[in-house]
Structure 1
């Protein structure tokens, strides 16, 4: 059942079902309170909210397809900027801030223009999130609190079919500071204040003071656990899987992992191994690939070029199966790993999954125990839908640096493909010693008198995928964090050096970006 609530941002105007049956509601209460009351009456329903101006453009026919299980929340903002405005970037570096409005994109930034949520979610959060006067604040609060607890939240352009109609968005500094106070650690309101002063030339004393009267919104980690996703989306057809493994000088570790793969209850179609050795006179050390019988096809590529990005790109080009298991050469898995993984993939309707990957001595109390939308990507511990990665590649501008995993994840998101994190089944990461004949690459900036800070590849990722506010917010926090670990203790001398290092990092990041 679908219930549609039409509003004008201040009051509910009309409530109907998808069959145009008119439902009664209390005209004296807020929009959020009406939504909660509807959830009590129709606990099995999908509740759609829509600004009355978009009534003729609401795409109800798509909702059944895109809202494929109950533990979801979809929304779309007609404006370029979301409800909290661009300055929220000063307090959050995640990929959920710079939203690609052209595709289905993971974000907690919800909007009152149009959206949908299941009644069971509203009932689960009713004691944690007050149904206040402002619908946008209520929606953003649900998503911000619910997303780490497993609520899948998306900006979804398919919710309505007229993207030319734009409703002006009003921004409030008081609302921004209140939201930060209620949903982040308290120190972030002061960092936000500092960043706005440094980069916007505004001194927002009153919004800071006003925010101190609000308390942080808290919720239990199991708040949404009773809502079990049972996806209607058919993501798995054949369960055929190819495994890609880049390797360099870890003969024994790779052998043990191949044995794990051969013992899987769910049989693998093909294993693609890209072996690297920079010595042009070398030959493969992986004799067991031919000397032993394996229950899957092995495609062995032996190259003299170093670099994990290049190796993974060569392997991806050889994939034929519906699914790709992207693995490292020093991991171990249980015999039922793939079987359990696909059961969960079908249940969640996910297409890109990064699995919990830990060393044997990793503290149990620090492990993540919740399935949720991941803000990164794990190149050595993920299963992905092969067709979704067919047109993308590991960016070799990140070779021998940091950030290629995160870049790959962002390429996926900007195509409309989300990345989920599954805590189970776990992968054991042995973190084997660096093996083989390795030559430490000489990076272009290594001989510079002023060394870039942060690493140019980290800066490149931020330039490509973050907002200017996020980059500047990162600059401020890096300034304070780095001070503890560097040798210059004179704050004025440190400030001068830091500015030069930051400038150098931007320069080299832009140089990397020019590379073909």
Structure 2
């Protein structure tokens, strides 16, 4: 990349990468290939945490014996799996990357060139692309009562994609895709986390088995005055939802359960609101799960 090499000489030279795998080993191998193909001169410490995959995850070690491989005898969830690796990470910046992603050229050097002078950044999220290179809604406003109806994966947002509520909720739909922005939260499909911020804020909240732990972490970062940055100058391709495809209904259940937990972690307690929210999420879960057409699956495969 023009003008980058000189700056790269004085840049961060070592990073940690955490990938949580659950029945996505074929995609994971391609992901790791892309990581090493685009690492430039960086020293990479790659941690793969496997949540009891059934697709021979040990194949990873046959191809990449240098990685740190952590295997669990059960699926302990995303947050716990990440935290296991975070506790032994040493580098200042930690990349959390989904296994069904492909790192693009200059991904690491472009991000680190920016972060080199940004100690105030707690979390950075790159531009996340679909396989057709369209932009995913990976930078968003904090969820509220309208998110269930007009959030990125809602039915109404697919039918009326240009409505004002959806545009307000999904930052990448309302802004120039090349502009670096301070945002409420970014997707855990790929994020870069500052270890200094982690020491202040804490690890991922393990009450979230999967989904919404990223929004919670970003909120806690902001409450401690760390910045959450959407950084579209570096991009990664995210195929989306591969580990959840094998059990679609279970995945949707966890999505809605975590949404409920997040809402009431921060919303002031109200005796009337809680059952209403629970009822609304339950109806949404039933609609998505039991009107389980191919179209619904495509909508939700792009959640992370």
Smaller-chain TM-score range? 0.5 to 0.7
Out of 303, 326, 341, which is 2:111 matched to? 341
Residue 216 of structure 2 aligns to a residue whose secondary structure is helix
Q: Distance in 2 between matches of 1:293 and 1:287?
A: 9
Q: Counterparts in 2 of 1:357-506, with a 5 A limit?
A: 357-363=128-134, 366=173, 368-390=177-199, 392-400=202-210, 402-431=211-240, 433-434=242-243, 441=250, 455-466=256-267, 501-502=276-277
Q: Distance in 1 between matches of 2:22 and 2:63?
A: 20
- Structure 1 455/433 Cα, relative in aligned 2: closer, same or farther at 3 Å? closer
Determine the C-alpha separation between the residues in 2 that align with 1:434 and 1:352.
Answer: 24
Q: Identify the residue that residue 256 of structure 1 maps to in structure 2.
A: 30
1:368 Cα shift?
Answer: 2.7
Helix, strand or coil at the partner of 1:413: helix
Matching residue of 1:299: 68
Q: In the alignment, is the contact (CA less than 8 A) between 1:277 and 1:437 conserved in 2?
A: no
Aligned residue-pair number:
229
Could you say what secondary structure the match of 1:408 adopts?
A: helix
Task: Label 1:305 to 1:505 Cα distance change in 2 as closer, same or farther (>3 A).
Answer: farther
Runs of 4+ in 1 over 4 A off after TM superposition: 364-367, 435-443, 466-469, 503-506
1:363 CA drift (Å): 3.9
Aligned mates of 1:462, 1:433 — CA distance in 2: 26
Q: 1:339 to 1:305 in 2, by over 3 A?
A: same
Structure of higher CA gyration radius: 1
Q: Return closer, same or farther for 1:468/1:422 CA change in 2, 3 Å cut-off.
A: farther
| RMSD (Å) for aligned C-alpha atoms | 3.6
Query: Per the alignment, do residues 362 and 405 of structure 1 end up closer, same or farther by CA in structure 2, a change over 3 Å counting?
Result: same
Higher relative contact order (CA 8 A, sep 6+): 2
Q: Where in structure 1 are there 5+ consecutive unaligned residues?
A: 1-235, 447-453, 476-498, 507-516
**Contact 1:328-1:381 at 8 Å conserved across structures:** yes
Residue 319 of structure 1 aligns to a residue whose secondary structure is: coil
How far did 1:331 drift? 0.8
Residue number among 36, 40, 44 corresponding to 1:265 in the alignment:
40
Q: Would the alpha carbon gap of residues 396 and 342 (structure 1) be closer, same or farther in structure 2, given more than 3 Å must change?
A: same
Q: Under a length normalisation based on structure 1, what TM-score does the superposition of the two structures give? A: 0.39
- After TM superposition, the score normalised by the length of structure 2 is 0.63
Distance 2:266 2:13 in 1: 33
| Corresponding residue for residue 64 of structure 1 | none
- On the 8 A contact 1:266/1:338 being kept in 2, the answer is no
Q: Is the 8 A contact 1:456 1:505 kept in 2?
A: no
Give, in whole Å, the separation in 2 of the partners of 1:286 and 1:424.
34
Q: 1:505 to 1:310 in 2, by over 3 A?
A: farther
